[in-house]
Amino acid sequence: MSSKFYVTTPIYYVNDKPHIGHAYTTILADCLARYHRTAGDEVFFLTGLDEHGQKVQQAAEKRGMSPQAHCDDLAPRFTDLWKKLGIQYDDFVRTTQDRHKKIVQAALQKVYDNGDVYEAEYEGWYSVAEERFITDTEKESGQFRDVQRLKEKNYFFKMSKYQKKLIEYIETHPEFIQPQHRKNEILGFLRQPLGDLCISRPKSRLSWGIEIPFAKDYVTYVWFDALINYISIPGWGSDEKKFKKWWPANVHLIGKDILTTHCVYWPTMLFSLGLPLPKTVFAHGWWLIGETKMSKSLGNVINPLDLVDKYGEDAVRYYLMRDMVLGDDANFTLENFIHRYNSDLANDFGNLLNRVSGLLNKHFEGCIPESFVSEKLIHTTHEVGRRLWQEAQIHINSFKIHEAIKTIMSLVQVANSSLEKEAPWKLIKEGNKAAAGHCLYTAAEALRLSAVALNPIMPGKTKIVLDVLGAEGTGLKWGELKSGTKLKLHEALFPRIEVEKK
Ligand code: MSP
Residue 169 in any domain: the answer is no
- Would you call 122 helix, strand, or coil by DSSP? strand
Site to substitute for ligand 1 among 17, 24, 55, 263, most atoms within 8 A of C-beta: 24
Calculate what percentage of the chain has a pLDDT beyond 70: 94
Could you tell me the distance, in angstroms and rounded to a whole number, from the CA of residue 255 to the centre of ligand 1? Answer: 6
CB-defined site of ligand 1, < 6 Å: 10-13, 21-22, 24-25, 50, 226-227, 254-255, 257-258, 286-287, 293-295
* Nearest CA residue ID for atom 24, ligand 1: 21
Listed residue (480, 442, 343, 453) closest to 391, CA to CA: 453
Query: Are the CB atoms for 185 and 263 separated by under 8 Å?
Result: no
Split at pLDDT 50, 70, 90, the class of 376 is low
Convert the pLDDT of each residue in 427-453 to its tens digit: 999 999 998 999 999 999 999 999 999
Q: Is residue 306 part of a domain?
A: no
**How remote is the CA of residue 358 from the centroid of ligand 1, in Å?**
45
Find the 475 Cα to ligand 1 centroid distance in Å: 35
What is the per-residue pLDDT across 243-283, written as a single tens digit (0 to 9) for each? 999 999 999 999 999 999 999 999 999 999 999 999 999 99
Percent of the chain with pLDDT over 90: 77
The ligand 1 atom nearest the CA atom of 226:
6
Residue 455 has pLDDT above 60, yes or no: yes
Q: Which atom of ligand 1 is nearest to the CA of 253?
A: 17
Is residue 47 classed as helix, strand or coil in its secondary structure? strand
Residue 384 lies in a domain: yes
> Over the stretch 159-172, which tens digit does the pLDDT of each residue have?
999 999 999 999 99
Domain tally, the chain: 1
- The tens digit of pLDDT for each residue in 95-108 reads 999 999 999 999 99
- Closest atom of ligand 1 relative to the 10 alpha carbon: 5
Identify any residues that bridge with 119 across adjacent strands, giving them in sequence order: 155
CA-nearest residue, atom 30 of ligand 1: 21
Lowest mean pLDDT among 39-43, 209-213, 376-380, 478-482: 376-380
Query: Which position has the higher pLDDT, 1 or 463?
Result: 463
Closest C-alpha to ligand 1, atom 7:
12
Please tell me the predicted confidence (pLDDT) of residue 127: 86
Question: Any idea what the Cα angle at residue 117 is, between residues 116 and 120, rounded to 5°?
Answer: 140
* List of residues 6+ apart from 481 with CB closer than 8 A: 368, 441, 444, 445, 448, 469, 471, 474
Residue 53 lies in a domain: no
**Is 430 inside any structural domain?**
yes
103 inside domain: no
Q: What is the three-class DSSP state of 120?
A: strand
pLDDT tens digits, one per residue of 122-177: 888 988 777 778 888 888 988 888 899 988 899 999 999 999 999 999 999 999 99
Q: Which residues are paired to 157 by β-bridges? A: 117, 197
With a cut of 60, say whether residue 377 has pLDDT above it.
Answer: no
What's residue 169's pLDDT? 98
Q: What is the pLDDT of residues 229-246, one digit of tens each?
A: 999 999 999 999 999 999
Q: How far is the CA of 229 from the centre of ligand 1 (A)?
A: 16
- 10 CA distance to ligand 1 centroid (A)? 7
Instruction: Specify the DSSP element, H or E, that contains 123.
Output: strand 117-127
Give the domain range for residue 389: 338-468
Atom of ligand 1 nearest to the CA of 257: 19
pLDDT at residue 333, as a whole number: 85
CA of residue 130 to ligand 1 center, whole Å: 12
Q: What is the pLDDT of residue 362?
A: 97
Closest atom, ligand 1, to C-alpha of 285: 28
CB atoms within 10 A of CB 486: 10
Cα gap 150→169, rounded to integer Å: 35
**For residue 62, how far is its CA from the centre of ligand 1 (angstroms)?**
22
pLDDT digits (tens, 9 = 90+) for 292-332: 776 666 565 666 668 899 999 999 999 999 999 999 999 88
Is the pLDDT reported for residue 339 higher than 90? yes
Distance 498 CA to ligand 1 centre (A): 34
pLDDT, tens digit, 9 for 90 and up, residues 22-49: 999 999 999 999 999 998 999 999 999 9
Statement: residue 382 has pLDDT above 80: no
What is the DSSP code string of 410-432?
HHHHHHHHHHHHH-HHHHHHTT-
| 435 within a domain of the structure (yes/no) | yes
Q: What average pLDDT score do residues 13-22 get?
A: 87
Residue 342 maps to a domain: yes
Q: Closest ligand 1 atom, CA of 15?
A: 10
Confidence of residue 383 (pLDDT cuts 50, 70, 90): low
Residue 502 — very low, low, confident or very high, per pLDDT cuts 50/70/90? low
The 3-state DSSP composition of the chain as helix, strand, coil percent (nearest 5) reads 50, 15, 35
> What CATH number is attached to the domain comprising 428?
1.10.730.10
Report the separation in Å between the CA atom of 305 and the middle of ligand 1, taken as the mean of its atom positions. Answer: 18
| DSSP H stretches of helix in 63-158 | 67-84, 98-113, 136-140
The pick from 13, 128, 251, 259 for probing ligand 1's pocket by mutation, whose C-beta has the most ligand atoms within 8 angstroms, reads 13
Length of the chain, please?
Answer: 502
**Closest C-alpha among 188, 168, 200 to residue 267:** 168
Mean pLDDT of 200-208: 92
Q: Are strands 197-198 and 287-289 parallel, antiparallel or unpaired?
A: unpaired
Q: What is the pLDDT of residue 501?
A: 65
Q: What is the 3-state secondary structure (H, E, C) of 205-237?
A: CCCCCCEECCEEEEEECHHHHHHCHHHHCCCCC
Mean pLDDT of the chain: 92
CA distance 345 to 318: 9
Q: Which atom of ligand 1 is nearest to the CA of 50?
A: 1
Q: What is the pLDDT of residue 130?
A: 77
